Copies of this chain bind each other. A is one copy, B any other.
């Protein structure tokens, strides 16, 4: 898809000759079909990683699932049987479904998927859905945690996982970490491999920048794939809606990433990048890439969360060592000590991660393979620990939804959190006892 075509308004599409139509493998953002519209609505209705919603879509299709999840119609016995085949544990399904309806209800009235699709189309993007040819099969490795759709902006197409290396790390990058990231990311692009990262300050930003600046080598020119087109140099996976650039200080960088490759997000336009969504975003990075390379990470860091997701998916994880005196390398050393992460010292070893254990072409090479030992749960051992650790997912969502200063009424929190009123009330009560929420008359804010 050319930049011009991407920015056309849908009304102009009919006048465009076939030769100017977007690539067949890219979704047609001008004429959204019913499934795409339903999935667009679902991305706003449910939080990322809502397994029951994913099962409902798999069992009943996105359109019917949307009707049921929004409570417009009640689920039929035959549908419930079908859902039970996907969701398992039939004994608890009725209770889980009922809890789901309570969780989805607060946002059900506020859906306007066509508006969202038009908004993204105007921004040069759209919603990629599993029904599209360009949907990366690698995302399906997430199983019941797979995204319901992936919003995108930019002319690129997502590469196959075998051609995508996630390069992630600490916001507190050192000069050493920046130099190594630049070297490894640039080399990957020169070899026709897309650098996937999270657009954050520190290592993420350096990885994107190096990928953008790297000369595309002869290998990269060959890196075409019949189904998915040319491999873009870099893709940023964001935690919030793509109508804004987060972090704000990276707006220029993210615009460059968009121009040369893609920005993607599970979240519809307007959605804020909450901490919960950052952790869920990490699973998308891990799934899109064939391997995850952590260049620098603190003892507790989001990069370790991404690595945990990668292990859960059976992906290789590499970690770059550094001085033991540097806190920004402590997380890498921890990964090397406590997980099957492989120690990476060179460009060749970084790319060898994508070969799933093949030794790098260096004397002696890289020994040992990675296993599938860590949990993919955001609460896994490798995930960061905060004051909010130990909270349930619901409590974490409610905590995220609480404003820092100005207290808000409970119905606002149900919408922000995407949870049912009883769940929100129960969570608020527990958060209050834990000293994490404060009640101000009949409104709430963080403590």
CB neighbors of B among A230-249 (8 A): none
The answer to whether A337 and B367 have CB atoms under 8 Å apart is: yes
Q: How large is the interface on A (under 10, 10 to 19, 20 to 34, 35 or more residues)?
A: 20 to 34
Q: Which residues of B contact A176 (CB under 8 A)?
A: 323, 325
Q: How distant is the Cα of A306 from the Cα of B365 in the complex, in angstroms?
A: 21
- For A179, the closest partner residue in chain B by CB is B325
Quick one: CB contact mask for A345-386 with B, threshold 8 Å, 1 for yes?
Answer: 110000000000000000111111000000000000100000
A367 to B107, CA, bound (A): 45
Interface hits, A171-189 → B, CB 8 Å:
176, 179-180
Q: Is residue A322 within 8 Å, beta carbon to beta carbon, of the partner chain? A: yes
Asked whether, in the complex, the Cβ of A324 is within 8 Å of the Cβ of B345, the reply is yes
| Given known contacts A330-B345, A345-B333, A323 and B323 CB-to-CB distance under 8 angstroms | yes
Q: Provide the residues of chain B in CB contact with A179, threshold 8 Å.
A: 325
The answer to the question of A438 belonging to the interface, with a C-beta cut-off of 8 Å to chain B, is: no
Question: B337, A364: Cβ atoms under 8 Å?
Answer: yes
Residues of the B chain whose Cβ atoms lie less than 8 Å from the Cβ of A325: 176, 179-180
A343 in the interface (beta carbon within 8 A):
yes
A156: interface (CB < 8 Å)? no
Q: Could you say which residues of chain B place their CB within 8 Å of the CB of A368?
A: 337
Contacts of A367 in B (CB 8 A): 337-338
- Complex-state Cα separation, A322 to B326, whole angstroms: 10
Write out the residue numbers on chain B whose beta carbons fall within 8 Å of the beta carbon of A364.
334, 337-338, 381
Check A336 for interface membership: any CB of B closer than 8 A. yes
Q: Is A321 an interface position by the 8 A CB rule?
A: yes
How far is A333 from B324 in the complex, measured between Cα atoms in Å?
13
A320 interfacial contact with B, CB 8 Å = yes
Inter-chain contact B343/A336, CB cutoff 8 Å: yes
In the complex, A315 has a CB within 8 A of chain B: no
- Distance from A373 Cβ to chain B, minimum over Cβ atoms (Å): 10
Closest to A360 in B: B337
Residues of B close to A299: CB separation below 8 A: 363
Top 9 nearest A-B pairs (CB, nearest first) are A321-B321, A324-B345, A338-B367, A333-B345, A336-B343, A337-B343, A337-B366, A337-B367, A338-B364
A selection of 15 A-B contacts at a CB cut-off of 8 Å is A180-B324, A320-B324, A321-B321, A321-B323, A321-B329, A324-B344, A333-B343, A333-B345, A336-B343, A337-B342, A337-B345, A337-B364, A337-B366, A338-B367, A364-B381
